[in-house]
Structure 1
């Protein structure tokens, strides 16, 4: 008789744990803005492509002092580019660029402080540790695509 009464109690306990597990999974889902904010992003790849030409690796031309620069997006909608541990010119300010950012759908918009021009980039990939964006421009019937890959430092 005790076994029969114990079975409904076990069933309720199992349902409760399953409901808690589902809640935990839902809380792990983050928006793009939450995934990008308050992390130090370092550029690890940069390529360009013009029309149907082959992709060109532009990152190989970067100096070591440029490869350690840090891009940081704050939750309050501002961003900054920090020169990192090594500066190319010791007289340069530690923060080389700052401004505001926002995300709408799959578009990352950056507006540098003091500028009215907003640069838009398509978010190709975004995870907790990787960001891949691309910017496409057309000029005199030529299409240029630049792709940037950042990893969390």
Structure 2
């Protein structure tokens, strides 16, 4: 009688162990941070581009041209990005880099862009990121003597 109970108990323990082992996460499964999920889920449309207002740095002035309002930015999960003109084209140097590689620095909450067209490296400080809005700030140094802080807002 005791041996039957021991066999049943050992069988139950083995089955329980197998069930527990089957429920463990795959160690090769990568956890994708929420920031990367939000960035890569859809393309981002330019909503506004601002710079500090001349004479009053506490206020911003919009420098978004009407022809850039339908431009978009897409981040891929493979680490590339592409900035595309919409149907209305304009000659603009506000976002002159059109494609390249990107990564997300979680420690600094920044998007790092490695543009290939033309070759340039940028760091965008993320101010706001959720399912509907991305807002970044960066220093534009096309002309080193005239560094301008720009804030770009994107929407889905």
**Common fold: TM-score over 0.5:** yes
Q: What's the counterpart of residue 85 of structure 1?
A: 87
**What is the CA deviation profile of residues 71-127 of structure 1, one whole-angstrom value per residue up to 9, with x for unaligned ones?**
1111111011111222237xxxxxx71111110120111111155531001101100
Q: What's the counterpart of residue 73 of structure 2?
A: 71
Counterparts of residues 2-151 of structure 1 (less than 5 Å): 31-49=34-52, 53-59=57-63, 61-63=64-66, 65-88=67-90, 97-105=98-106, 106-113=109-116, 116-136=119-139, 144-151=148-155
Give the structure with the higher percent helix.
1
Using the size of structure 1 for normalisation, the TM-score is: 0.63
Larger radius of gyration: 2
> Paired residues, what number?
115
User: Partners of 2:152 and 2:124 in 1: how far apart?
Assistant: 10
Specify which structure has the bigger relative contact order, considering alpha-carbon pairs within 8 angstroms and separated by 6 or more residues: 1
User: Partners of 1:143 and 1:83 in 2: how far apart?
Assistant: 25
Structure 1: state its 5+ residue gaps: 1-28, 90-95
Contact 2:98 2:117 in 1 (8 A): no
Instruction: Give RMSD over aligned pairs.
Output: 2.9
Contact 1:108 1:121 in 2 (8 A): yes
Using the size of structure 2 for normalisation, the TM-score is: 0.62
1:145, distance to aligned residue in structure 2 (A)? 2.2
